[in-house]
Structure 1
């Protein structure tokens, strides 16, 4: 066989390999496999590892939970782009594990969050109160740099709330936002055609001004969610409603102001909160631990995908678009969503 035939064979083999690779990539992202992949990722995420923070009795333990970032259910079991942030499904799984594990006698909840979705915040609140009522396990909260809006909502049922003097908290209330770029589009000759089944189907449309009737409809919804927020503080902090409403006007406050307003109990860092749990609930010999995620092939794939696509600006923008909501929604949130 001469050299030309060898070259032809090598080229043909290379084309075959590339073709197989391209087909495999496309197959990977087909909807059926993607569904199975998401299910597997979720299964892997629910396998908790435990990291011991302070040694002690394995029969009497203090669990440390962390809410770090915006409280939103993005529908992702594990991120394929960027670093992991708050994972709602994973966090709810931890709460369920705490409910079922009889060796866990108390919980410290660390919060560093500007808040998030109304539904997700309420889900966490309901689960915490369910654990308290059915098991009697106490929850102490350690507020970090920020525990505002929904971050405060999930802290409200705690037996005790600790803050730093520099902690930003408060921002009690509900917000719903959208962008109106209709006038800008008109300036550039862009015309939007909308066909709808009812007068309110395109409520909060970004292409036109809102009517007074639409504003009233949305305001009623927000008022209901706001009342729920006030009610959980009244119950959780054992405060009169008028006292809650006096500070539940959306204002942000620091740790000192929160303590003075009876929205927090004391100043302290993580070690102070754990010491408080040990002292208040006879847990001097308790082991302190936190949950993690089992390393799996999904984690390895995450690394591979990041190395494949890199960290260029376009990829970061794509990741942002993939993980953000495009439609307006009610939020217990401080700051820009």
Structure 2
């Protein structure tokens, strides 16, 4: 037989042997986790099914590497776990800017999942810089209702900011990748005064209105001092609602929340224990949810991606729960 064929066969047999050894080792350590010496200098990662991983020489190991390793272990653990009783985890993606379209898709789905007896828990996969006040508040409210009847975990691998974070605090737990951007707790209101631009282009705007504030915030004129006070009051009202939601959802005092209410985002690894519960990837989030469900090896169903329309419709004045970095492209300013 050709030497190349023998080499191929040998490689396959070696791989099969290695896989068998790894499988036996994983199963063995699930039943008999190794003891950790008192003088152990490496880090210890507690994983599902009482499996303990001890890593030597961890002085230079980053939180990203640790989280990635935990996620890989959680994935492998799921491969050897058995499905229990048809219990299902529903993964609901919430991507992009959160607007009326998002709410129209997400809210009915969450209500259906609340009534679906085969679904034991819901994983909210949130990758969003925020969105419009109304839809954000409505989705957050629906998540709180859902969490009354079954476990809900929020997960983000990239960005969970402003309105995206607002809806996440409705879940029992928040899991995020170490370098995911978290926070941007705040409200922004943008008013464009294009009155002089209209004049330069020979555009005259005739307005017929029933009250002096009916066109408050319109782009064809500046705001009056009284209107500026009204808008400031409105923004502060939305801000207080945001802070209260985070305080309730994260079990933090108002003052503690205010420390993170500067409008900026942080890497998840820097706010673990405050804005985030655990670091990790999708499988880590599933593992956290399974623990809340008191099951292992649950069936995971990912629902169709919720697409955000290209036209967001922001032009003129609007109040938003959104990270300001993502606002300019939406209004055609860059």
| Band the TM-score falls in, shorter-chain normalisation | 0.5 to 0.7
TM-score with structure 2 setting the length? 0.68
Q: Which residue is equivalent to 1:161?
A: 174
Residue 277 in 1 paired to residue 289 in 2?
Answer: yes
Residue 237 in 1 paired to residue 250 in 2?
Answer: yes
| Counterpart among 113, 116, 130 of residue 128 in structure 2 | 113
Question: How big is the shift at 1:258?
Answer: 2.6
Local SS of the residue matching 1:108? strand
Instruction: Kindly indicate whether the alpha-carbon contact (under 8 Å) linking 2:218 and 2:317 is maintained by their aligned counterparts in 1.
Output: no
Local SS of the residue matching 1:194? coil
Question: How big is the shift at 1:171?
Answer: 0.9
Instruction: Kindly indicate whether the alpha-carbon contact (under 8 Å) linking 1:98 and 1:104 is maintained by their aligned counterparts in 2.
Output: yes
Correspondences of 1:1-337 after superposition (within 5 Å): 56-57=83-84, 59-74=86-101, 87-133=102-148, 135=149, 137-259=150-272, 262-292=274-304, 320=310, 323-326=312-315, 328-334=317-323, 335-336=326-327, 337=330
**Per-residue CA shift, 1:277-314, capped at 9, x if unaligned?**
22343211321112239xxxxxxxxxxxxxxxxxxxxx
Q: Whole-Å Cα distance in 1 between the matches of residues 174 and 285 of structure 2?
A: 9
Question: How big is the shift at 1:169?
Answer: 1.8
Q: Whole-Å Cα distance in 2 between the matches of residues 207 and 279 of structure 1?
A: 55
**Per-residue CA shift, 1:111-162, capped at 9, x if unaligned?**
00011111111111111111222x1x11111112111000000011221111
RCO greater where, 1 or 2, for CA within 8 Å and sep 6 or more?
1
Local SS of the residue matching 1:247? coil
Question: How big is the shift at 1:209?
Answer: 1.6
Question: How big is the shift at 1:91?
Answer: 1.4
Instruction: Kindly indicate whether the alpha-carbon contact (under 8 Å) linking 2:103 and 2:138 is maintained by their aligned counterparts in 1.
Output: no
Local SS of the residue matching 2:203? coil
Q: Which residue is equivalent to 1:50?
A: none
Local SS of the residue matching 1:271? helix
Q: Whole-Å Cα distance in 2 between the matches of residues 210 and 140 of structure 1?
A: 42
User: Pairwise CA RMSD of aligned residues?
Assistant: 2.2
Instruction: Kindly indicate whether the alpha-carbon contact (under 8 Å) linking 1:111 and 1:141 is maintained by their aligned counterparts in 2.
Output: yes
Gaps of 5+ in 2: 1-77
Q: Whole-Å Cα distance in 1 between the matches of residues 145 and 299 of structure 2?
A: 24
Instruction: Kindly indicate whether the alpha-carbon contact (under 8 Å) linking 1:170 and 1:258 is maintained by their aligned counterparts in 2.
Output: no
